Structure 1
Amino acid sequence: MSDIINLLPDSVANQIAAGEVVQRPASAVKELLENSIDAGADKIQLIVKDAGKSLIQVIDNGCGMSITDARLCFERHATSKIRQAEDLFSIRTMGFRGEAMASIAAISQIELKTRRHEDDLGTCLEIEGSNVVNQEPVATPAGTSISVKNLFYNIPARRNFLKSNPVELKHIIEEFQRLALAHSKIFFSLHHDGNELFHLPASGLKQRLVHLFGNSYNQRLVPVEEETTIIRIQGFVGKPEFAKKTRGEQYFFVNKRFIKDPYLNHAVIGAYEGLLSSETFPLYVLFIEIDPAKIDINVHPTKTEIKYQDDRSIYAIVRSAIKRSLGQYNITPSLDFNQETAFSQMITQKPIDEIVEPSINFNPSFNPFDTEDTKERKDKADGGGQRAANHGSYKAAIPQNWESLYEVTEKVKVNQLNLHDDSEMQTEKQATKQIFQIHNRFIISQIKSGFIVIEQQAAHERVLFERFMRQLEDRQGASQQSLFPQTVTLNQADFELAQELLPHIEALGFQIRPFGKTAFVVEGIPADIGPSLQETQVIEQLLETYKNYQAVDRITKRESVARSLARNAAIKSGTRLDQEAMTDLIDQLFACESPNVSLSNKPIIITFTIGELLTKFGKLS
């Protein structure tokens, strides 16, 4: 039997590696921008077309490459940052594994122009599917310009799995924002299809935040800074009153590398204990500096996860630093009962002999029952006895038309009787329909064989979802005009996503139009969502819920929008419902196509039979 194990050709191995490194255009954007940062550039331009599917171009003024390095950088495991295994534990650069450029070259057509500052001529290199098709000298500015064209051109199956342009552009913007935040001293710009989306001059972190997310963020930020023997943490957190219903701007950076860390996120949320309403999320942009030897960043292909040697201490430091910052800026009480000086600023420091006793002035003849009418009566009095005068004074102080008090009392009695009668009638009506609400969460209704229990929130979500789906099919969603149109400002990524969803949003009954580069004016909202939700809240929640549903491939865009709005517009657990509201909800639920299953594929209705109840009580049915 012949041998069956063979070494893969480099081109095939690179395509396999590309599946890990380059998942979508945003992955290539991240790798190229990081290379420019590592090259020492202070000016980086990103140009994309067709959401990166047709073109991704990065131009920088970094150190550039020699002829040999330009050719070698596309070889697998070629890197300038690692010489030996120990170097993995002292990494301070962005890229280091030497797989990115080889992986990108394996699935695209690349043109590279690069020149070192000390060289007169640069190098132009053209590559298609890992094969070098041309290399020649070229006059080019110092630095590097790399163009990635027709991503996944030779793997059509992968290209077909890419999402729509707005979705892919949203991911590109997210990667761009993360790197722009981590390197605020570098100029960044982003152009898409000829339009400049971002123009970010070199600045401090706060200015970079404002440039990225809008001028309104200038008043929302609370600075955080703490230095210990373990880590140094600095950055900004948002004031509690500006927390959103969506997980918007939340960024952790370790040694300027963006990471995703639920553990540290829990520390941040813990610092806001008692300050945030339920299901709201604060803004934070936090930078942690730590000895590279105490972390392992090579635990995930995208390098967004990190392992720490002392994660518990880091958790405690992050939480206490944020809590202290919120206290210092009068967001939370900052009294320290363990220190004697905690109340020092509240106590006067003057000597005892300088303290002046406050004086109290009062009028001994003041009578609170005196009125102008009383004074006139006193002036006309004939000087009778003091007791008679006092009696007249109190009598005169009684309000006129005092007899009407009896009429008011009688009306109260009648109303109490009416309320009592109404209560009896309501009880009788309720007893007829046999519908009850318990814990403001469940509805119980009697049926012939026993009774049913309905979860009210899940039931209303099902009713609204099927209603919204019909409206999306017919494009006849009812709208209620806003008395005062509201402007909703989004970040660039969410704005692009909202643009994609705009036809579906309008079909549901929204009256909305773009306003500027990242804002919408909402002039009307669907009549079904009621007045309790504000326009900004509805749009933000809809986008966030849509992003969560977006990961489920079997759900269409239209269904995702309907689910998102239904989830946000439905009555919540804990809402008290009157008899009419419960009756209407039950009637609408049983008119649905799938009344028994919630949007999360969980039961909405549970039935209990008389036999089950008798068994619980130890009786035979």
Structure 2
Amino acid sequence: MADIINLLPDNIANQIAAGEVIQRPASAVKELLENAVDAGATEIQLFIRDAGKELVQVIDNGSGMSDTDARMCFERHATSKIQSIDDLFHIRTMGFRGEALASIAAVAQVEMKTRRPHEDVGTFIEIDNSVIKRQEPCQTAPGTSIAMKNLFFNVPARRNFLKSNAAEMRHIVDEFIRVALAFPHLQFSLNSNGQQMFHLEKGSLKQRVVSILGQHYNAKLVTVKETTDYMNIHGFVGKPETAKKTRGDQFFFVNNRFIKSSYLNHAVMTAFAEMIPSDSFPLYVLFIDLDPAHVDINVHPTKQEIKFDDERILYAFVQSAIKHALAQFSVTPALDFELDPGIQQLDALTQPFTEQKKQQSSNTSIYKTFTHANQAHVIDQSSNLRHWKELYGPALTPDNENTVPSEQPVSSTASVIDERWQEAATDQKVPVQVHQQFILSQIKSGFILIDQRAAHERILYERYQRALSEKPIATQQSLFPQTLELLPADAIVISEMLPDLQALGYDLEPFGQQTFVVRGTPADIQSGNEQASIEGLLEQFKHYSSELKHNRREQLVRAMARNNAIPAGKMLGTREMQNIIDELFACTTPNVSPGGRFTFISFKLNDLERMFDRGA
């Protein structure tokens, strides 16, 4: 019987290996930027066309390469950084395995120009599907320019798996930001389709963080800096008020290499415990420096997942450093032990405590409660507390029952609740709000308890779905249009969603690269709340984009419904509650929210009778 195992041809083997390293255009961006950093460049330019599908080009002013090195760098496992196996565990450079350029050349058309500063002539190389088509001398600036064109042109099936241009561009911006944050002393720029998205001058880490994440963070960053013999940590965390509902502004770097570590992220979350809501995520940009011998980088093709020889020490160190920073900058809550000067003027301190006053004090019920045994539970019969049962009776008298206005301030909340319970007693169909979270409504077979937020989310979800497919939602034009400045990645998201947002009632116009003019919002959104509405929508959209596998329109509708639903804790009028009930049961799927939570629970009358032993 003939042998059936054969060696793969080099071109197929290269494409298989490329699939581990180059998954999308952003993967090539990461590798090319890191190579430019390793080359000692001080100025690095990134040019993108068609979200990297047509062109990814990186130009640097680094050390350049000789004509021999220029050809060798595209061979698999060709590297200048590894001479022995020990070198693998003392790596401080970004690239070292010699896979990046070989992988790019296997799935794209590559052109490279390179020249060393002391040479008069550089080298031009053209590669197509791992085959060198041309190599010749050329005139070029010192440094290296690599252009990757037509990604996956020779693997159409892989190209079909790429996402929309906006989605791929978001990934490119993410990779660009990670490298730019790691090296603030270098100048970076990013141009997409002829427009400049970033121009980052050399500066301090704080300047780089603020220029990327936004000027509004300038006064909201807390410095983290701890030094030990084993490891060092430095960087910034955001104050608790900067925490968001979605992950995003969270960056860990180990020896200047961006990593993903749920373990270290948990250490940060623990340090922020009880300062931010449990479903929020703090901002942090943290750099950990330690001996490369304690780190194994070579465990993942993209080198974003690494291993430590002792994770517990690292966890405790990160947690302690952040807690110390927050306490040092008075961010954590603290007890105030300073005495109010007004207390010093009270009669209790300035006047003598005479025998007469002592006798009067010892006869009070409060004194007896604290000094006599078994008195803590006793209610003084002369006290008004003996009428505690009356607190549960009607709060309104005939003299004032008609004086309560329909819209009550917070201080008269109890009176409003009592009034509604009285209405419910006279008209059994009037809904009643419970703890400002649930709506209780009587039905023929018993009653139902409605979660007001989940129910409203279902109502809005179906309303927005109809708006996209049938009739757009009315827009409320703003008297004074607002200018909204977004982060580059968020601006890409909004640009992609503009047509759908207009159908949902938003009137937005681009006003520059990262700026939009808000001329109108859906009619049911309160005027003056335009910016908060769009920022909340963005956060929810990113939440659904990362956790749910739905198309973009579905993600947008769910995000809109969740962002605009009435929150728990909001007091509702009788008409508002009835509208929610009527609209909920007019929905096609009234029993669950878009996220799958129950919108209401029904209680049958016979179940209630059984609970109270009425059948006995």
The TM-score range, normalised by the shorter chain, is 0.7 to 0.9
Q: Which residue of 2 aligns with 1:459?
A: 455
Post-superposition offset of 1:128: 0.9
Mapped to 1, the partners of 2:263 and 2:169 lie a distance apart of 29
Q: Which residue of 1 aligns with 2:399?
A: 414
Q: Which residue of 2 aligns with 1:368?
A: none
Instruction: Say whether residues 1:480 and 2:465 are aligned partners.
Output: no
Give the counterpart letter for 1:113 in structure 2.
Answer: K
Question: 53-62 or 439-448: which moved more?
Answer: 439-448
Equivalent residues of 2:490, 2:538 under 8 A apart: yes
Mapped to 1, the partners of 2:296 and 2:335 lie a distance apart of 39
Post-superposition offset of 1:163: 2.0
Mapped to 2, the partners of 1:216 and 1:530 lie a distance apart of 24
Instruction: Say whether residues 1:582 and 2:577 are aligned partners.
Output: yes
Q: Which residue of 2 aligns with 1:599?
A: 594
Q: Tell me: CA distance 1:417–1:534, structure 2 relative to 1, closer, same or farther (3 Å).
A: closer
Post-superposition offset of 1:103: 1.4
Q: Which residue of 2 aligns with 1:566?
A: 561
Instruction: Say whether residues 1:159 and 2:155 are aligned partners.
Output: no
Equivalent residues of 1:471, 1:507 under 8 A apart: yes
Q: Tell me: CA distance 1:470–1:38, structure 2 relative to 1, closer, same or farther (3 Å).
A: same
Post-superposition offset of 1:38: 1.0
Instruction: Say whether residues 1:33 and 2:43 are aligned partners.
Output: no
Equivalent residues of 2:200, 2:208 under 8 A apart: yes
Mapped to 2, the partners of 1:570 and 1:498 lie a distance apart of 21
Equivalent residues of 1:50, 1:193 under 8 A apart: yes
Mapped to 1, the partners of 2:55 and 2:599 lie a distance apart of 49
Deviation per CA, 1:528-575, whole angstroms, max 9, x where unpaired?
Answer: 3446x9333322222232233335786332222111110111123444
Post-superposition offset of 1:513: 2.5
Mapped to 1, the partners of 2:309 and 2:335 lie a distance apart of 33
Which aligned pairs between 1:47-58 and structure 2 lie closer than 5 A? 47-58=47-58
Give the counterpart letter for 1:505 in structure 2.
Answer: L
Q: Which residue of 2 aligns with 1:134?
A: 134
Post-superposition offset of 1:10: 1.6
Post-superposition offset of 1:519: 2.4
Post-superposition offset of 1:76: 1.8
Which aligned pairs between 1:255-270 and structure 2 lie closer than 5 A? 255-270=255-270
Post-superposition offset of 1:209: 2.1
Equivalent residues of 1:246, 1:540 under 8 A apart: no
Give the counterpart letter for 1:509 in structure 2.
Answer: G
Instruction: Say whether residues 1:89 and 2:89 are aligned partners.
Output: yes
Mapped to 2, the partners of 1:506 and 1:423 lie a distance apart of 40
Q: SS of 1:427's equivalent? A: helix
Give the counterpart letter for 1:514 in structure 2.
Answer: P
Q: SS of 1:548's equivalent? A: helix
Deviation per CA, 1:447-490, whole angstroms, max 9, x where unpaired?
Answer: 44444443332221111011011122245212334455443321
Q: SS of 1:601's equivalent? A: coil
Deviation per CA, 1:472-512, whole angstroms, max 9, x where unpaired?
Answer: 22452123344554433211111122111122112211222
Post-superposition offset of 1:440: 4.1
**TM-score after normalising by structure 1:** 0.81
Mapped to 2, the partners of 1:473 and 1:169 lie a distance apart of 28
Q: SS of 2:147's equivalent? A: strand
Q: Which residue of 2 aligns with 1:250?
A: 250
Q: Tell me: CA distance 1:309–1:554, structure 2 relative to 1, closer, same or farther (3 Å).
A: closer
Q: SS of 2:567's equivalent? A: coil
Post-superposition offset of 1:264: 2.3
Question: 312-321 or 14-23: which moved more?
Answer: 312-321
Instruction: Say whether residues 1:469 and 2:465 are aligned partners.
Output: yes
What is the aligned-residue identity percentage? 55
Which aligned pairs between 1:222-237 and structure 2 lie closer than 5 A? 222-237=222-237
Mapped to 2, the partners of 1:425 and 1:202 lie a distance apart of 69
Deviation per CA, 1:581-615, whole angstroms, max 9, x where unpaired?
Answer: 33221211111122233212344344454565667
Q: Which residue of 1 aligns with 2:492?
A: 496
Mapped to 2, the partners of 1:579 and 1:424 lie a distance apart of 11
Mapped to 2, the partners of 1:443 and 1:317 lie a distance apart of 48
Q: SS of 1:110's equivalent? A: strand
Q: SS of 1:258's equivalent? A: strand
Mapped to 1, the partners of 2:551 and 2:173 lie a distance apart of 23
Which of 428, 434, 447 lines up with 2:425 in the alignment?
A: 428
Which aligned pairs between 1:298-317 and structure 2 lie closer than 5 A? 298-317=298-317
Equivalent residues of 2:246, 2:543 under 8 A apart: no
Instruction: Say whether residues 1:509 and 2:505 are aligned partners.
Output: yes
Mapped to 2, the partners of 1:48 and 1:271 lie a distance apart of 39
Post-superposition offset of 1:230: 2.8
Q: SS of 2:253's equivalent? A: strand
Q: Tell me: CA distance 1:285–1:475, structure 2 relative to 1, closer, same or farther (3 Å).
A: farther
Equivalent residues of 1:61, 1:144 under 8 A apart: yes
Question: 143-152 or 411-420: which moved more?
Answer: 411-420
Which of 514, 520, 524 lines up with 2:516 in the alignment?
A: 520
Q: Tell me: CA distance 1:260–1:6, structure 2 relative to 1, closer, same or farther (3 Å).
A: same
Q: Which residue of 2 aligns with 1:211?
A: 211
Q: SS of 1:300's equivalent? A: coil
Mapped to 1, the partners of 2:500 and 2:427 lie a distance apart of 41
Which aligned pairs between 1:544-555 and structure 2 lie closer than 5 A? 544-551=539-546, 555=550
Mapped to 2, the partners of 1:610 and 1:83 lie a distance apart of 81
Give the counterpart letter for 1:595 in structure 2.
Answer: P
Which aligned pairs between 1:71-86 and structure 2 lie closer than 5 A? 71-86=71-86
Equivalent residues of 1:480, 1:526 under 8 A apart: yes
Q: Tell me: CA distance 1:413–1:595, structure 2 relative to 1, closer, same or farther (3 Å).
A: closer
Equivalent residues of 2:424, 2:432 under 8 A apart: no
Equivalent residues of 1:105, 1:128 under 8 A apart: yes
Mapped to 2, the partners of 1:595 and 1:145 lie a distance apart of 59
Q: How many residues align?
A: 551
Give the counterpart letter for 2:498 in structure 1.
Answer: L
Equivalent residues of 2:420, 2:432 under 8 A apart: no
Deviation per CA, 1:277-318, whole angstroms, max 9, x where unpaired?
Answer: 564433221111111111222232222222223323322322
Mapped to 2, the partners of 1:217 and 1:481 lie a distance apart of 30
Q: Tell me: CA distance 1:210–1:417, structure 2 relative to 1, closer, same or farther (3 Å).
A: closer
Mapped to 1, the partners of 2:53 and 2:532 lie a distance apart of 33
Deviation per CA, 1:361-389, whole angstroms, max 9, x where unpaired?
Answer: xxxxxxxxxxxxxxxxxxxxxxxxxxxxx
Give the counterpart letter for 2:285 in structure 1.
Answer: V
**TM-score after normalising by structure 2:** 0.81
Q: Which residue of 2 aligns with 1:46?
A: 46
Mapped to 1, the partners of 2:96 and 2:2 lie a distance apart of 39
Post-superposition offset of 1:114: 1.5
Mapped to 1, the partners of 2:182 and 2:463 lie a distance apart of 45
Equivalent residues of 1:245, 1:541 under 8 A apart: no
Equivalent residues of 1:50, 1:165 under 8 A apart: yes
Mapped to 2, the partners of 1:334 and 1:426 lie a distance apart of 46
Which aligned pairs between 1:265-280 and structure 2 lie closer than 5 A? 265-276=265-276, 279-280=279-280
Post-superposition offset of 1:226: 0.9
Give the counterpart letter for 1:252 in structure 2.
Answer: F
